[in-house]
A and B are shown apart, each in its own frame.
Chain A
Amino acid sequence: MSHSHRAALQFLFPSFLFVLVFTLFPIVESFRLSFYRLILTLPWLGQKFVGWENYRDLLTDPVALHSLLTTLMFVAVTTPLEVLFGLGMALVLSESFRGRGYLRAIVLVPWAIPTVVSSQMWRFIFNDRYGLFNFFLFGDDTSRYLAPLADLSLAPIAIIVAEIWKTSSFAFLIILAGLQAIPTDLYEAASMDGATVWQKFRYVTLPLLKPALLLALLFRTIDALRVFDLVFVMTQGGPADATNVLQFYGYKKSFAEGMIGYGSAISVVVFFLSLLLSLIYIRSMGSRMLQTVEAR
């Protein structure tokens, strides 16, 4: 017994070293720094312990609160739509027809594209002078052309559109795997029992697909919480902080403004937000996933 413990330790050690140095230690360090005032642009202030001050400031920082709200809005709008799109695509692509393999590969294209590239692409489509978006809305009447990325209400929508386009295919992948796990004889049995297409979907597919839908929803939620690339490329958080999501705000405070202490406090809040969600996720799905891995 002790033999396998030792062997397991040796095999796991290299990976654990990376996890320790670049994940576990930094999280503890972020925690520690969040109780200090440390501003890189004002080095003469040094590193001063200030207790909960950074957190108190955070609570009264209107930009931070707005940023939290923006992030939550972003998550609340994108994730259900992505799962819905993913479900639709998975339902069509789980049927067998000619060219299904090609179509599946095409659906994966948005997933494979670097987010930075898809961000530039949507930025181009939302261009205020010759973007496709304007052309579809107003034709060649250039006088009515909008600048969506500079518009307070349109900019968040533009980000949301770009996000949904890019990541629906991930939801599709998870849901497709769930669909394929449903045994076909259940549908045959339902047919024998006289079920219509809709009844088969409602009483067979949907209940059995619930875990996969939940999984897709939670993965997407956790991922949408840390949206950064899109915002960095398309809007830089603007206009007037309309798209200033948490991860971008934290980045700006820590790295552009050098406010390490305050930035760390933001990091800690974001960390707990996603830890909460991942715990919910692991509690509801994790043990089931581990079982499927271990059952083999």
Chain B
Amino acid sequence: MKRKTFFLFSSIAIGCFSLLPFLWFVLTSWKTPSEIEAIPPQIIPSFYWGFYRSALEQYGLLRYMGNSVIVAGATTLFTIAIGSLAAYALARFRLSWTRFYLMLLLAISMFPQIAVAGPVWRILNYLNWLNSYHGVIAAYITLSLPMGIWIMTTFFKELPYEVEEAALVDGCTRLQVLWKVVLPLAAPGLFTAAILIFIHAWNEFFFALLILTNPTLQTLPVGIALFPGEYTMPWGEIAAASTMATLPLVFLTLLFQRRIVRGLSAGAVKG
């Protein structure tokens, strides 16, 4: 009995800690301007949709969302394609230098962004890729590759190698083995990697801030961080935009909680 109440209380405490601050922000998005500033704070909003309308119409939230979908989507696609090639080689060719490459990837995933930011900016400037989707996508692919490769390598290693050897004897090239046998079998793992890469790219701020200075190309995090308002912050709109930027992720997380837990702990790579 004592044990049960302990778990009940600690569960509630953990749930509140994790959810309440954000829930408060979400509720804020449905308040009227006076409810936002009310003291004592008003908990239940009057479900006023005005801030959503102005976030969408005045601040162009839809455009930011579109940009985020394009950038995060393309990053995910390319990282999975390029990363699965690498992960297959790392999982199946155990050579001394492939081992080193795996360690190199781990090491560079830990580098602070500022260590490469200046030269990356200069390279993109030289290529005329600043303020372009492909510029930010190229940078994001580089950021996501280490995590993606580590996770996929772990998943590929779990597949029975004899099935791949059977395919080699049956007449496959290595690339055909990857395409016709490994990828279909590792689909759940690829999906897990894709979710994590997508969330990562959707949330990335530092490089987006550097590369995308043109508001029509900026992604959601940049839009939300640079929300205009010098003296009074447009909290209602920020809350509305934040809610809309986060809901897809919360949805993904609630839906694929198991996969995310497994994917992150499998490679034990930072997400």
Residues of A within 8 A of B (CB): 4-5, 7-8, 11-12, 14-16, 18-19, 21-27, 29-30, 33, 88-89, 92-93, 95, 97, 99, 101, 103-122, 124-125, 127, 129-130, 132, 135, 139-140, 142, 165, 169-170, 173-174, 176-177, 215, 219, 222-223, 225-226, 228-229, 232-233, 246-247, 250-251, 254-255, 260, 263-264, 266-268, 270-271, 274-275, 277-279, 281-282, 286, 289-290, 293-294, 296
B133 contacts A by Cβ under 8 Å: no
Knowing A104-B257, A109-B250, A125-B24 touch, does A228 contact B105 (C-beta < 8 A)?
A: no
B113 contacts A by Cβ under 8 Å: yes
- Whether B257 lies near A130 (C-beta < 8 A) is no
Chain B interface main SS type? helix
- Whether A7 lies near B89 (C-beta < 8 A) is yes
Count, A-B residue pairs, CB within 8 A: 302
- Whether B261 lies near A23 (C-beta < 8 A) is no
- Whether A229 lies near B206 (C-beta < 8 A) is yes
A and B contact pairs by CB, cutoff 8 A, 21 listed: A11-B89, A16-B86, A16-B101, A21-B142, A23-B111, A89-B14, A106-B14, A108-B260, A114-B221, A116-B220, A117-B25, A121-B22, A121-B24, A127-B235, A140-B39, A142-B39, A226-B114, A254-B118, A255-B210, A278-B111, A293-B153
Residue in A22, A142, A266 whose beta carbon sits within 8 Å of that of B139 in the complex: A22
Which chain A residues lie closer than 8 Å to B19 at the CB level? 106, 109
Which chain B residues lie closer than 8 Å to A122 at the CB level? 21
Whole-angstrom distance between the Cβ of B70 and the nearest chain A Cβ: 16
Which B81-127 residues have a C-beta within 8 angstroms of A? 82-83, 85-86, 88-90, 93-95, 98-99, 101-108, 110-123
Residues of B within 8 A of A (CB): 7, 10-11, 14-15, 17-19, 21-22, 24-25, 28, 36-41, 82-83, 85-86, 88-90, 93-95, 98-99, 101-108, 110-123, 138-139, 141-142, 145, 149-150, 153-154, 157-158, 174, 199, 202-203, 205-206, 209-210, 220-222, 224-225, 227, 233, 235, 238-239, 242, 245-246, 249-250, 252-254, 257-258, 260-261, 264-265, 268, 270-271
